[in-house]
Amino acid sequence: MAKHEYFQGIKRVTYEGPRSDNPLAFRYYNANQRVGKKTMKEHLRFAIAYWHTFTGMGADPFGAPTKKFPWLQGADALDRGFRKMDAAFEFMTKIGAPYYCFHDFDLVEEGDSWKESERRLQKMVDHARSWQRQTEVKLLWGTANLFAHPRYMNGAATNPDFRVVACAGWQVKNALDATIALGGAGYTFWGGREGYLSLLNTDMKREQEHLARFLGMARDYGRANGFKGSFYIEPKPMEPSKHQYDFDAATCLSFLREFDLLDDFKLNIEVNHATLAQHTFQHELQVAANAGKLGSIDANRGDYQNGWDTDQFPNNVYELTEAMLVILGAGGFKTGGINFDAKTRRNSTDLTDIFYAHIGGMDAFARALLAAHAILEDGELKDFVRQRYSSFDKGAGKQFASGKLTLSDLSRIAGVFPEPEQISGRQEYIENLISRYV
């Protein structure tokens, strides 16, 4: 532990069970409790997002920062970086999160020269390595912030100016080096400004080709330098660009397929990005899972009444249960996990609020895991779906599914039967089945 304690008066958060009324205890997340073949900790692989939790100070388009994080008060950038990291590892240890995620310049502010930025990053990586050794906290994934600096206003890898693309390359190389040095299990690309505002000044085809070229270069560099983890693309339909090239899971998969990147890239699916794309989170997870590309998730929730990325902490156990059904159905996380890409509200200004937020999110996921596991064990849901498609398991249905029939065959077979009788989809019955476990 560092000499200074930032979260004073808060001890390690422990599991006290559903009857506990201690707001600083888990009521459902019991790290070592077995659920099927794995413990909760192994299933959920929680990660803390460095940007929201230790760097985001509550500024919004209408107002100044509200959060007076003590670790950000120093005069010197490196000093602030070190103190932020000490606070981060104190928090992650106390909440019992096994992982964290960062952008390069969450760790420390960018300097005023390439050299100075690299020097700062190197210092932070050394400090993180020493903290990782002293604690059990590991890096789930690293990434580069290719959207905040004004140079990226027209995009990073898709910028029409090659010099900006080169800057993005410099940043990704350093961020990959940091991720590799810290044993990161993954590396994420969220295309912050990889998209466009107006088609009138944009060569979309060319920009997408550049993006693919850039991702391929990052992949080659990572692999050549010992990175064995997963590369993730994180879909998001809009904001900050009007049109983002990585709109949703299906768009990303088709892009990866077109440019022959599928072997090395999986998807990192974020709840609020799914809903901005007019999908449910479950839908996006299933699209990724169907392609064998469900890598990791960014957990949060949007707001039902507005249309932007509010990044609130997840608390809807029913929806999370549906999500966990897909995740468990796909075999669970391998290199990925549940990264809380979520922030406390602007007026939640106490340091304790950070604990309440994460405890709530972790408990909600633990309940969803328990419910989803029990639903799968019970088997009725799976049987119901299997039964629904059983006409393809035998006879002509099976021949159709295995490609042995022609359209003329279908037409002939249709003529043999009377009008098919109605078969209910029984959605409400199935929804009630989920409710029994939530």
Based on the shown chain and the rule CB under 5 A, indicate whether residue 246 belongs to the binding site for Co ion: no
**Gap between the terminal Cα atoms of the chain:** 38
Q: Which is nearer to ligand XUL, 270 or 363 (CB)?
A: 270
* 177, 194, 341, 363: residue in contact with Co ion (rule CB under 5 A): 341
Task: Report whether 368 contacts 86 (CB < 8 A).
Answer: no
The distance of closest approach from Cβ of residue 172 to Co ion in the complex, given in angstroms and rounded to an integer, is: 17
The distance of closest approach from Cβ of residue 272 to ligand XUL in the complex, given in angstroms and rounded to an integer, is: 7
Write the DSSP string, 263-275.
TTEEEEEEHHHHH
Sign of the C-alpha dihedral computed for residues 141, 61, 56 and 23 taken in this order = negative
Q: 309 touches which of Co ion, ligand XUL, none (CB within 5 to 8 A by kind)?
A: ligand XUL
Burial class (CB in 10 A: 0-12, 13-18, 19+), 228: exposed
Based on the shown chain and the rule CB under 6 A, indicate whether residue 341 belongs to the binding site for ligand XUL: yes
Q: Is 4 one of the catalytic residues?
A: no
**Which entry of 43, 52, 104, 106 is annotated as an active-site residue?**
106
Q: What are phi and psi of 259, to 5 degrees?
A: -105, 20
**Which entry of 43, 52, 86, 103 is annotated as an active-site residue?**
103
Based on the shown chain and the rule CB under 6 A, indicate whether residue 335 belongs to the binding site for ligand XUL: no
Q: Which is nearer to ligand XUL, 341 or 437 (CB)?
A: 341
Based on the shown chain and the rule CB under 6 A, indicate whether residue 270 belongs to the binding site for ligand XUL: yes
Q: 80 touches which of Co ion, ligand XUL, none (CB within 5 to 8 A by kind)?
A: none
Q: Which is nearer to Co ion, 80 or 266 (CB)?
A: 266
C-alpha to C-alpha distance for 266 and 231, rounded to whole angstroms: 6
Beta bridge partners of 232: 188, 266
Give the CA angle between residues 278, 282, 283 to the nearest 5°.
55
Give the CA angle between residues 341, 343, 347 to the nearest 5°.
175
Q: 236 touches which of ligand XUL, Co ion, none (CB within 5 to 8 A by kind)?
A: ligand XUL
Task: Report whether 377 contacts 433 (CB < 8 A).
Answer: no
In whole angstroms, how large is the CA radius of gyration of the chain? 24
Based on the shown chain and the rule CB under 6 A, indicate whether residue 190 belongs to the binding site for ligand XUL: yes
What would the x/- binding string for Co ion be over residues 287 to 316, using CB under 5 A? -----------x------------------
C-alpha to C-alpha distance for 47 and 337, rounded to whole angstroms: 7
The distance of closest approach from Cβ of residue 147 to ligand XUL in the complex, given in angstroms and rounded to an integer, is: 8
Kindly state the tokens that stand for 338: 């549940």
Q: 67 touches which of Co ion, ligand XUL, none (CB within 5 to 8 A by kind)?
A: none
Q: Which of 49, 56, 129, 125 is nearest to 91 (CA)?
A: 49
Q: Which is nearer to ligand XUL, 232 or 255 (CB)?
A: 232
Q: Is 43 one of the catalytic residues?
A: no
Q: Which is nearer to ligand XUL, 140 or 291 (CB)?
A: 140
Residue given tokens 């409790």 in the structure block: 33
Binding site for ligand XUL (CB under 6 A): 103, 143, 188, 190, 234, 236, 270, 298, 309, 341
**Catalytic amino acids?**
103, 106
Binding site for Co ion (CB under 5 A): 270, 298, 341
